[in-house]
Amino acid sequence: MSAQATSSAYDTRTRILDLGEQFMLARGFNAFSYQHIAKELEVKPAAIHYHFPSKEDLGVAIIRRQLNRLHKWRGLPRVTELTPTQQFDALLEVYHGRVTERQQVCFFGALAADFQTLPEAMQQELRTFTTELTEWVAGVLAAGREAGTMHFRGHPVSKASQVLTTLAGALQVARVYDARQYERIVAQLRTELLEPA
Amino acid sequence: MSAQATSSAYDTRTRILDLGEQFMLARGFNAFSYQHIAKELEVKPAAIHYHFPSKEDLGVAIIRRQLNRLHKWRGLPRVTELTPTQQFDALLEVYHGRVTERQQVCFFGALAADFQTLPEAMQQELRTFTTELTEWVAGVLAAGREAGTMHFRGHPVSKASQVLTTLAGALQVARVYDARQYERIVAQLRTELLEPA
DNA sequence: TTGCTTACTTACTAGTAAGTAAGTACGTTT
DNA sequence: AAACGTACTTACTTACTAGTAAGTAAGCAA
């Protein structure tokens, strides 16, 4: 296991994950194939099977990587040192990136529609990811309300669910209509949360 | 074109639409085939092609039928005679039915993920449906605020987009987790809209 | 009774899907 | 130099996809 061989394998593996993720967020899990990825990478479909024997393996790896990203991101000093309001805006930034870059949705929005056709392992992985994200947001909201900079009723977890649900839906709206619809929904959400009634 | 022949054709056609809609809301447009419908109806796939030459025709017909339902529903005396709050709750009832019956989502939630893979005609049909639904909800919200029974900031259309987006997302949450998560999100939404701050 | 329409079935095409088995080029290890 | 592991390609199987063309049984209409 030399450094070079590892690096080369890692590169292809990563590029497969990147492309798979891109396709998944753009068109859903069932609407892309190993052929699509292989064509982009200029290799044969069987080469993808070498790295990820089944499509389920690939799907699980894509979601798991995103969970790792979340863990790293929420632990970064430039994130932990922010005020709750700034953390909330940092979250909005991430979602905003999906709209402007390509017409992508979030993982939840991309996979929920196809959910019943997904392999069990992917279903479980998506549940884990969503649970962890919701809990982080709930923590931010609770801290914000305590600091007096955020205003909402009910349990922080309920509000966090509602916020993430709205954001997931808003990305879908951006795809079906345009980015302006998205901006409107997020502005509405932000106003209600941050400006005292 | 006798009454009997028409009735028989209508029955099969309707059953195809019903099954297609069911599959679409349960698994997305790309994850069901004419074979799935044919098997349920105990006919051959070509029989489905007789009624709907292409899958695009079927998809468009399913969405268009739902638009007709909306037109009829919102014009019913038992709907128009309600107060805005009661109309809002009637809307929530419709969504609630999807959760309890089967793990279905709404049309928007089912098709937004696959949107970029859908035929143009279906994309346009979905846009029309969503626009009309949003406008109806905006009207209800505007009337409710004027009557002093609903409380929200911003333009009624923005709030309507946010409400429908949240409901679409909440149905997806119900599928990935359970109905209780859905109840929580809707309760949060309802409290914020109906109870004065 | 002949012809036309409706609602199919049978049999097919062409394309794509996931996945596998065997082979190969190349670099590393021993 | 021989053996091995990595990262593929080639060639294949099985299964499913949308869609079409031709045929047919039953009913109605002139």
Are B112 and A188 an interchain contact pair (Cβ–Cβ within 8 Å)? no
Which residue is the nearest neighbor of C21, CA to C1'? A46
With CA of B58 and C1' of each nucleotide, the nearest comes out as D18
Tell me the per-residue pLDDT of B71-85, one tens digit each, with 9 for 90 and over: 999 999 999 999 999
Q: Which nucleotides of D are covered by protein (CB under 7 A)?
A: 5-11, 16-22, 27-29
Of A158, A176, A188, the CB nearest to B115: A176
Q: Which nucleotide is nearest to B32 (CA to C1')?
A: D17
Which of A152, A175, A185 lies nearest to residue B162, judging by beta carbons? A185
Closest-approach nucleotide to residue A3, Cα vs C1': C28
Closest CA to B126 of A175, A117, A22, A112: A175
A189, two tokens: 């959400």
Mutate to test the interface with A, among B164, B165, B177, B184 (most CBs of A within 10 A): B165
pLDDT, tens digit (0-9, with 9 covering 90-100), for B129-181 = 999 999 999 999 999 999 999 999 999 999 999 999 999 999 999 999 999 98
What are the tens digits of pLDDT across the range A61-77?
Answer: 999 999 999 999 999 99
User: If DSSP codes are grouped into helix, strand and coil, which group holds residue B44?
Assistant: coil
Specify the pTM.
0.91
Concatenate the DSSP letters of all residues of chain A into one string. Answer: --HHHHHHHHHHHHHHHHHHHHHHHHH-GGG--HHHHHHHHTS-HHHHHHHSSSHHHHHHHHHHHHHHHHHHHHHSHHHHTS-HHHHHHHHHHHHHHHHHHSS---HHHHHHTTGGGS-HHHHHHHHHHHHHHHHHHHHHHHHHHHHTS----S-HHHHHHHHHHHHHHHHHHHHHS-HHHHHHHHHHHHHHHHS--
Structural domains in chain B plus CATH codes? 60-194 (1.10.357.10)
Which residue in chain A has the smallest CA separation from B151? Answer: A197
What's the pLDDT at A59?
Answer: 98
Report the chain B residue with the minimal C-alpha distance to residue A111. B113
Strand C reaches within 7 A of the A7 CB: no
Q: How far from the centroid of its chain's Cα atoms is residue A71's Cα?
A: 12
Q: Are B160 and B138 in contact (CB under 8 A)?
A: yes
Task: For residue B162, list chain A residues with Cβ-Cβ distance below 8 A.
Answer: 166, 185, 188-189
- A120-178 pLDDT, tens per residue? 999 999 999 999 999 999 999 999 999 999 999 999 999 999 999 999 999 999 999 99
Give the mean pLDDT of A22-46: 95
Alpha carbon B95 to chain centroid distance?
8
Query: Residues with Cβ < 8 Å from A159, sequence gap 6 or more?
Result: A138, A141, A152, A153, B188
B163 → chain A, closest CA residue? A166
Share of chain B above pLDDT 90, in %: 89
Q: Which residue is closest, via its CA, to the C1' of C26? A: A5
Residues of B in contact with A172 (CB under 8 A): 108-109, 112-113, 115, 165, 168
